[in-house]
Structure 1
Amino acid sequence: MNSRKLVAISTAEIEEYPIARETRLDGHSFIKWQHIRWLSSKTFKLCSWEVQGMARALFDLSQLESPVGTLPDDDAELAHMLRVDTSRMADLRRSEYGPLRNWRPCLSEGERRLMHPVVLAQVQDALERREIHELSKEDKATYQRLKRLREALKSLGLAGEVLEDERLIGRMDEWLKQTCKGNRRMPHYEAAIQHAVAQGWVGRPASVR
């Protein structure tokens, strides 16, 4: 087994992990597995099947850690995660082609952890895609909310050209968001029209007195 010399690193030389400890990946978050990159890596080409399995297990287990994407820098904890004894874990950590290949020390709120650049990139990608997905859901919610607003205003007598006024609809929606915290009902829409009339945004429709 190839071994490598472990070199002590001072805390001042260790980089801060960029993801906050409270950031979590929920069960629906998808972490990409880049199989082509994996099959081209030295870990796949030169490590034993046992070590490859351990490496993949650590990749998956790091998603459950805090901060997400890191591992404890502790032989006893790592040994427990890989179901080996601590002496075996120490040997694996010294090996150039062990399951912790390319994992390096980092700091998270003063705690020393282990990070892997590829794992970090994959976690950041998953978090970014989650943010985009959340924004997409917000956009859908906004679309449905404005659709209901237009339908209600139409039933209250506002003309089609008024309903097509994006600025007006936006103003009324914003006013409703500030004044109506629950489900919007017809009295809320009537109040929105009255407010718009009072502000001079629109003329009073015949159905609203």
Structure 2
Amino acid sequence: MQPVNISDLPDYPLSCNDRLDSHFFMAWERRRWLASGMRLNATPECRALYFDLINIAYDNSPVGTLPMDQNILAKLLMVDSGHFGSLCKLDYGPLYKWEPCRCDNGDIRLMHPMVLRSLSEAMARREDHRARNDAANSAKRLQRLRITVSGYHADLAKNDAAIRWMDEWLVKEGCEYRGAAWIERGMQAWSNHIFDLGRAGGAFPQKGA
């Protein structure tokens, strides 16, 4: 590790608020690892510590980073600090390709391009999964609302715009359980909405006309 100009450091793209708490595993590119310079050139001990540090980084904040202090890293690895320092001086030491970066909280920490790539892909998959779940939940919620409204007004239940508007209105109003009272309020709100649109467009006579 050499002294660096802080202004020249790259900004770490993940913030302290980015979490993968529900992930109890990490993606590991087996073939990439088997052909990597680290695996082919490092000692068995350095390879083991290198892999340990990657796992440790997943539980640090920001996720995927490590503290700069080698004494702290040695404690995390449960190895002698002096011995760890000597290993880090090797061309293929435990901190191979770990480099300083600036984090969103102002800290200077270590990042690794492979770890960052793996985390970015994991977060992208999580967001895709969340989007699919949200879409599925929304579709089910709209279908339930349509069925309920059909019990009051069959033609209104066939109006896609009305169902979507009432759904958004119920969500905005903080309705947690869509009982009869809420459904009736939603239908009345839709009726008022249509009336206001018509009045604004001149479809209804104004007072004094």
Same topology, TM > 0.5? yes
| Structure 2 equivalent of residue 94 of structure 1 | 89
SS state of the match for residue 66, structure 2? strand
Letter in 2 for 1:11: I
Aligned-partner Cα distance in 2 for 1:191–1:12: 58
SS state of the match for residue 70, structure 1? coil
What TM-score, normalized by structure 2, do the two folds share? Answer: 0.85
Instruction: State whether residues 44 and 52 of structure 1, in contact with CA within 8 Å, keep that contact through their aligned partners in structure 2.
Output: yes
Which of residues 170, 175, 195 is equivalent to 1:176?
A: 170
What TM-score, normalized by structure 1, do the two folds share? Answer: 0.85
Aligned-partner Cα distance in 2 for 1:30–1:164: 46
State whether structure 2 residue 32 is matched by structure 1 residue 52. Answer: no
- Structure 2: gaps spanning 5 or more residues: 196-209
**Would the alpha carbon gap of residues 199 and 111 (structure 1) be closer, same or farther in structure 2, given more than 3 Å must change?**
closer
Divergent runs of 4+, >6 A: none
| Structure 1 equivalent of residue 188 of structure 2 | 194
The number of aligned residues is 194
Percent of aligned pairs with the same amino acid? 32
Q: CA deviation at 1:110?
A: 2.5
Deviations 1:87-131 (A, max 9, x none): 111112111111111111112232221110110111111111111
* Larger RCO (alpha carbons 8 Å, 6+ apart): 1
State whether structure 2 residue 148 is matched by structure 1 residue 140. Answer: no
Bigger mean CA deviation after superposition, 19-28 or 100-109? 19-28
| Structure 2 equivalent of residue 111 of structure 1 | 107
State whether structure 2 residue 28 is matched by structure 1 residue 24. Answer: no
| Structure 2 equivalent of residue 129 of structure 1 | 125
Instruction: State whether residues 63 and 70 of structure 1, in contact with CA within 8 Å, keep that contact through their aligned partners in structure 2.
Output: yes
